[in-house]
Every structure is written in C-alpha cells, then in structure tokens.
Amino acid sequence: MHSSLTVSSAPAHGTTSIAGDVITYTPTSGYYGSDSFAYTATGPGGTSAAATVTLTVATPALAITQTSLPAGQQDVAYSVSLTASGGTAPYTFAVTGGALPSGLALATNGTLAGTPTANGSFSVTITASDSSTGDGPSRVSQTFSLQIALPAPPVVRDTSVAVTQTVTNNQPASIDLSTLISGNVTDVTIATPPQHGTVVIQRTGTSFTGVSIANPLQPGAVGLERSAAVATPTLPLGATVAAPRFVAVYTPTPGYQGPDRFTFTAVGPGGSSTFATVDITVKGTAPVAANLVTTTDQNQPVTVDISSGAVGGPFTQAAIVSVSPADSATATLIADGTASARTYRLQIQPSPRFSGTTVVTYTIGNTFGMSAAATVTVTVKGRPDPSADPVVRGLIDAQDTATRDFARAQIENFGRRNEQLHGGGGSTGNNPIGITLGSSDGGTFRRPGRFDGIAPETALKMEHANEVMGAEGLRVSSTGTLQPGASPTGVTGAMGLRTPTGSRSGMATGSATSASTAAAVGAVADESGDTGPRKIGSIAIWSGGAISVGTRDATTRRTKLSISSSGLSAGADLKLSDDLTVGAGGGGGEERTRVGTADAGHLTADTWVGAAYGSFRPTPGAFIDGVLGYGDLSFNTRRAALGGSLAVGHRNGSMLFGSLSAGIDQSTGRLSYSLYGRAEYLNAKLRAYAETGAGVYSLTFDPRTLESLTSVAGGRATLHLGAFAPRARFEWRHEFNQASPQLLDYADLGGPSQYSITNNDWLRDEVQFEIGLGINPGDGWTTGIDLGGRGGPGSRSMTVRVSATKKF
C-alpha cells in the first residue's frame, strides 16, 4: 500500500507530471531518441527504493510539400518557394543531386529564384531538413525535373540621333545600340546601311567575324564594318539580362548635311528581333584650322598649305585676319581646286629688311561656316652683315688698290718721260718694260717700279755710236756752236762746257755759248745717260711700263690679297722751244687680285687711258713738269658666297688723274742730282653694280667716288764714273684724303643701301728709297739694277728693278 509517487530523477530530454498513480512524460520539443527518469513510492511503511523508467521518443514523418517544379524560360526571371511538413520546423533546403540551370539558385529557406541563362530539362534533387535534436535532424529528398524554355527573341526600339558632321580630330559619332535592345542578344546586324555615310558596329565581348555591306547609293564602299575587341562584358543601363555591348560608329560623308538613317536587328538564342531604325540628323559645323609653323630666309617668300592641316573639308572659303607685326610681311591667299572643294595656300612675303618672327592669322571655311582663327608662325632668318665679310671687304679694297695703282702707274710712266725731257733731251726710243717682284705686309701693296731707258738720239743724228751725250760733255766748235761728237778730253760738268782746246767756258762767258748751248747747262743726265738736246720742232716717240707682283696681308676685317699688276704707256712729244716740250700718249693696265685662301675671291681690273704731258724750263737748271690724263675702268669680281654658291659681278668706272712737279737739276763734277716736289691727284668714279649667281646672298654696290691728293718731296742723284753710274732716289709721300665709304646691300632688297665699308689704308705717310747702278759699256747698250723699298705706318715693301736699253 502506498500513499504517493515521487519522481526521484528527472528525465534529461523532457518533463514528468504525476496524477495519482500515473506519471506522464512529455519530451522536449524537437527531441527524438531515448530518455529515462526514476521514481519512488511512499506508504505507511516508508519509501520504496527508486525505480527507473526508460522510453524512446519516436522520429516523426518528414515530407516536401511540392511534388514538381513549374517550368521557366531562359532570360526570364524565375521564382518558387519550397515547403515541408512533418518533423520540426524550421526547415532548410539544399540541392543534393543534379544541377540547376545557370542563373538559378536555391536558398536555404526553400526559395528557388533567378534568371536562367540556359534552356532545357534539368534534373535536380532537393533535400529538406528539419530542426529536430537528439537523433535528428530528420531529412527527406525529392528529385524534380525542371523545364527551362528557349528565351524570347530580342526586342529593339527605334531612335533618332543628331550627329555632328565634323568634330575635333575628325572623330565620328557613336550610338550605343545596347540601350535600345532588351532580351538576350548575341549579335547585331545592319539591315539597311546609311545613304550618306558609313556605320561600323563595335562590340565588347566575345570576338566575331565582321562583314562589309556595300552602299548602293554611294560611289564607294560604305555601310557596315565590324571590329571586335576582347573585353569584360558590361550591362547597359537598365538591362535585365547579361548581354554584350554594341556601339554603332557613324561617319557622315564629307560635306553632307541633312537626314540619314540605318536599320538594324538584334539576334539572340531565341531568334532575331524586328527591324529598328536609327534616324540621324547630320548637322554641319565649321572647320577646325591648324596652327602652323615654318621658316624662310630674309626677303624670300614662303608658301604654306593651310588646307592640309585643317579638319572639316571640303573647304569653300578662307580669309586673312591679320599680320603681326603689321609691317613685317604681306600675306596673299592662293585658291586651287573647284568651287565646292577648294584648297588654300598662304603665300607670305617678308618685308625686305625684316628678320625675326611674323605671325599671320587666318580662318578657313566650308559650307557651314568659318573656323576659329588660327596662325601661321614664320621665322624669318636674317642674313649676316655683308660689310663684315672679309672677302667682300677684300674685293672692295682690291678695287681701291687697282684704281690707285692704275693712276700712279700712268703718272709715273709719263713723269719719267718728263724727266727725260729735262735739258732738251728725250730722243726717240723705247723705254723697256720692267718687272718688279714685291711683297708687303700690314695691308699695303707696293707700287711697281719702272724700267726706263732713253730712246736713241735721232734729231741730232749721232755720228759716233760710242759717244756719250749729256752731262758727260758736248763738243763745242771754234765758233762756239755745238757740234755732235765729243772727244775724250772734251768733258763738261753741269757748271760749264769745254772748248776743243780744253779751256773752260762757263755760264758767265756768254760769248762762248748760245741759246742752243744753254739748253745743256744745268742738265742732269737721266738714268740712261742721255740728255742730248733735240732740235726745235722735232718729234720723239717712246714707250714704257712695268709688271709687278705683290701681296697685301690679312687684317682683322679684311682677308689676304695676292696682286699682280701691269701698266704700259706710250706717247709722242714735240719740242716747241728750248724750254718747252709737250706730248700726248695713251696707256693701259691690268691687275689681277686673289682674295683670301683657296681663291675665296678674285678681281680682274683693266684700264685704258689717254694723257697729255709736258716739261717746261723756266730758268736753266729748273723745271716744271705736268701730266693730265683720263681713262676708263673695268672690274670683274668673283667670290664664294654662303651656301657654296658663286657670286659674280661687273663694274665700270672712269678716272681723272694728274700731277704737277717742280724742281732743280744740277751737276757738280761727276755728280748730277735733282730735287723736286710733286702733287698727284686722282678722281675716280666707280659706277653701281650688282652681283648674280648667289641667290639671296648676291650683293649690290652703290656708285662711289675715290679722290686722292698726294704730295711728294724727293730727290735723285747719279754719280758718273765712266761706264758706271751709281744712282739713288728718295721720296717722301703724304696722302691728304681718306677713301670714301662703299655703300652696299643685298641685291634683292630695295631702297637705300644699309651697309658701308670704309678703306682706312689711304690716309698715310710713306717714304720711298732706291739705289742702283747703271752700266754703259759704250756699245749702245745700257743696263741697270736698282734696289728699293717703301714704308709707312703699318706697311713696308721692297723692290728689285733690272733694266736694259739699246739705242738705235
């Protein structure tokens, strides 16, 4: 007998309750499996030992509610929620066999959703699990067959696009067709190409082979062209399916303005879409002109093609906006081509003396308008200062030198002839041509010496070929008149004459002399030993000249000159009285000058002159000589110019020259000497000339006047020692005038010349000396040798003279 029951050990996975003699066990929710508890009974006799009750909680039945899955369509959103019954909620779901189509996924809560990207029949096993514990959870699996149908064909819509005809760098307009397509698209094809341009489909995604569609409305191939590029696919804005990106690149036909269109279709796994139309409005825009850069030489035009650098042709117009600086150049537009397709060139002519940078601003237009202003920047390269060119300076200096050399040569030739006329001499004969070899430095050229020989006496008809006339003596007859022929004892000096008896007859013994003998008193023998008197009214002819070679060394501003020169003269004179002889003659000269090294420059100069001369004896032992001449000048120049070209020129001119000298002739014993002073004058007119052959480096030279006034003081002496006659000459020379500047400029430039060259070598003092020996063996031949030199500030020269004369 008992009075109550008590649970002494509670179950691990549930609870108990006692009602009388009944113990009720309730398992914990979600628990499946074994459990136990212990209890005791209490009665009058006390409490019993514990008894254990063991029990098992059975697993409930679990099932997936759906027995099949609804069918879906590729590229269409799909969603279904799976549920389960039995067991302990909540339930979880998972794919444990087969595979879902791509794009679908099963969530753990049983939601099967997504957008399938593949079609077909897919077998998939789905397992549901409850949330039971103990021996749980419970699971149940079910296999489903999921049918995914093909997608629907793509859907396209029309659009209208405004396209700019020309843009920077001539880039065409792009139209994103992907925004016009919905659905699964694998390709886009052009159904109808544009009539006034071309369209190219560009795709990002899988590469594909493109095709070209000819446009029957255009003379060339237009229409569809495709290019493929491998890239990461992107979804167009608002797209609901993954798709490649398609861009249509449209390029209008140049010059076209107005409507255009093309049609296309989209192709997908479900088929092709209907045709969609893209309407295009081509809006014309003005061209884009290019900024251009070029170079040219001073005063040389340059032509620039402004069409080739511009974008937006064909062009129909162009304009020059400005030139800066305004006076730097002139610009001219040159149009070529047809009225509807012009090409334009800018011809830019720099101002003659401009160098630097000039900017021409221009615009170019088509049928839609004018471009924004653009520029052509021209760098005009200046030319060097020609007056600083050593070769140019050398050629100008060479012209100066040749002019003065020609005048001095003729003054010296005719002056030497005047010396022969002193004392009534100057017989007919030849003055042999001499040769002078000279060298100089410091910028001075040695004026050539002269080899002078006295012509044979024809007026007095010499009876004895071995007889020496002049200061050596004159034979005087018993009547006091001169007789040709002198005895060895009949030698007279400058102070008097000897009679046949050897008595001295001086100037004071007028009865012993006559007007004829007076002509010999005070006469000094010339370098040939002939001072024999001539008959009044007699005519004598003569010739003389010299050839010389010399150099002028380089200076800081002028290159070296190598000179060869010659001057020849000839004439005839008439003895008007015992005191006056006059004559006239002519002459010519030639000078060759090499300027610099390697024949950098060359001058050939020529002259022809006419001259009048005379010698007057105001008193015995004194003389006044004069020379006046006029001649023409001719110069041919050649020089190496920049760029390897050769500049040649020809110059003409004229010169007026003259000299006036006065002095005394005296003799004492065997010594005869002369002291004199002389003034020399030159006025030369050199005409303007221009070089050719050197292009932009050819020069032009202005007219120029060269005027020289020189004073000379000097003396000469001869010591007569039988067949030998040592002699000497000394002169001091002062130049009063400075050479006028030579104005010059580049030949292609107009207006007054801007450059000047001044020869600073004229204004100077010089001294000249000469010593020599004359030899007269008495056989009709007279020879001589002379050594001389000339020097001045910055200059010096030496000469050697050899002469030979034969009487006839």
Mean pLDDT of the chain, nearest integer: 78
Distance CA(318)–CA(333), nearest Å, equals 8
Q: How confident is the model at residue 326 (pLDDT cuts 50, 70, 90)?
A: very high
Residue with tokens 């191939």: 221
Q: Which CATH superfamily is domain 62-149 in?
A: Immunoglobulins (2.60.40.10)
> How do residues 243-300 score in pLDDT, each as one tens digit?
589 999 998 887 777 899 999 999 988 888 888 899 988 887 889 999 999 999 999 9
Distance CA(679)–CA(676), nearest Å, equals 10
pLDDT for position 509: 31
The answer to which of 75-79, 165-169, 509-513, 668-672 has the lowest mean pLDDT is 509-513
What is the arithmetic mean of pLDDT over 329-357? 92
**Domains 62-149 and 155-283 belong to one CATH topology:** yes
As its CATH architecture, domain 388-461+529-806 has Beta Barrel (2.40)
**Which DSSP letter does residue 178 get?**
G
The answer to which of 223-237, 350-364, 705-719 has the lowest mean pLDDT is 223-237
Distances (CA, A) of 53 to 11, 40, 50: 9, 11, 10
For 170-208, the three-class secondary structure string (H helix, E strand, C coil) is HCCEEEEHHHHEECCCCEEEEEECCCCEEEEEEEECCCC
Distance CA(327)–CA(329), nearest Å, equals 6
Query: Is residue 242's pLDDT more than 80?
Result: no
Note whether 13 and 31 are within 8 A (CB): yes
Amino acid letter for position 620: P
**Which DSSP letter does residue 717 get?**
E
Note whether 780 and 419 are within 8 A (CB): no
pLDDT for position 60: 73
User: In 3-state terms, what secondary structure has residue 140?
Assistant: strand
pLDDT for position 423: 73
Q: How many CA atoms, within 13 angstroms, populate the side-chain half-sphere of residue 270?
A: 22
> How do residues 124-160 score in pLDDT, each as one tens digit?
999 998 887 776 788 889 999 999 998 888 877 766 6
List the domain boundaries for the chain.
Answer: 4-57, 62-149, 155-283, 313-381, 388-461+529-806
Q: How confident is the model at residue 460 (pLDDT cuts 50, 70, 90)?
A: very low
Decide which of 506 and 524 is more confident. 524
pLDDT for position 801: 60
Decide which of 225 and 752 is more confident. 752
Query: Is residue 212's pLDDT more than 70?
Result: no
The answer to which of 167-181, 211-225, 552-566 has the lowest mean pLDDT is 211-225
Query: Is residue 33's pLDDT more than 90?
Result: no
Sign of CA dihedral 628, 410, 677, 734: positive
Q: What is the pTM of this model?
A: 0.58
Under 8 Å CB-to-CB from 219, ≥6 apart: which residues?
none
User: In 3-state terms, what secondary structure has residue 300?
Assistant: coil
Distance CA(25)–CA(37), nearest Å, equals 9
pLDDT for position 526: 52
pLDDT for position 459: 30
pLDDT for position 39: 84
Q: Is 279 left (phi over 0), alpha (psi -120 to 50) or beta?
A: beta
What is the arithmetic mean of pLDDT over 381-389? 93
Q: How confident is the model at residue 88 (pLDDT cuts 50, 70, 90)?
A: confident
- Residue 750 CB neighbour total at 10 angstroms: 9
Note whether 70 and 77 are within 8 A (CB): no
Q: How confident is the model at residue 427 (pLDDT cuts 50, 70, 90)?
A: low
Decide which of 687 and 308 is more confident. 687
As its CATH architecture, domain 155-283 has Sandwich (2.60)
Q: How confident is the model at residue 806 (pLDDT cuts 50, 70, 90)?
A: low
Q: How confident is the model at residue 241 (pLDDT cuts 50, 70, 90)?
A: very low
Highest mean pLDDT, choosing among 6-20, 166-180, 651-665: 651-665
The answer to which of 268-277, 624-633, 796-805 has the lowest mean pLDDT is 796-805
Q: How confident is the model at residue 220 (pLDDT cuts 50, 70, 90)?
A: very low
Which among 472, 453, 421, 531 is positioned nearest to 807, based on CA atoms? Answer: 453
Query: Is residue 796's pLDDT more than 70?
Result: no
pLDDT for position 244: 82
Under 8 Å CB-to-CB from 53, ≥6 apart: which residues?
23, 25, 36, 37, 38, 39
What is the arithmetic mean of pLDDT over 27-42? 82
pLDDT for position 214: 33
Distance CA(82)–CA(66), nearest Å, equals 7
